Amino acid sequence: MEAAKSSPAQTTETTKRNQETSPLSRVKKDCLFFKTSLQEVFCYVKAWFIGQAKKATARNEREATEADQQIWKMQVEAADNAEETKKRLDKSM
């Protein structure tokens, strides 16, 4: 079997990218991604507690359903914000 040969342009691009990302830069990027993930988890937990408190104080089924909807909305917003932040970080580094 013959080994797959990569084009010179592709090899040059890969080499250039490897040279640009120093170990310190990579650690910094990984730490920022980790921080973003922790913020996302915090927002999930916060949404859960707020929703549970609202469900516990709900006077009827409609208010309990609204509390569930608020939980889901807050969790989706947290995921969207984290995804946007990670994309922005990925582009900048």
Residue type, 62: R
What distance in Å separates the CA atoms of residue 41 and residue 81, rounded to the nearest whole number?
12
E strand intervals along the chain: none
- Confidence band (pLDDT; 50, 70, 90) for 7? low
What distance in Å separates the CA atoms of residue 83 and residue 42, rounded to the nearest whole number?
15
Report domain extents, the chain.
37-93
Q: What pLDDT score does 1 carry? A: 47
Question: In terms of pTM, does the model score above 0.85?
Answer: no
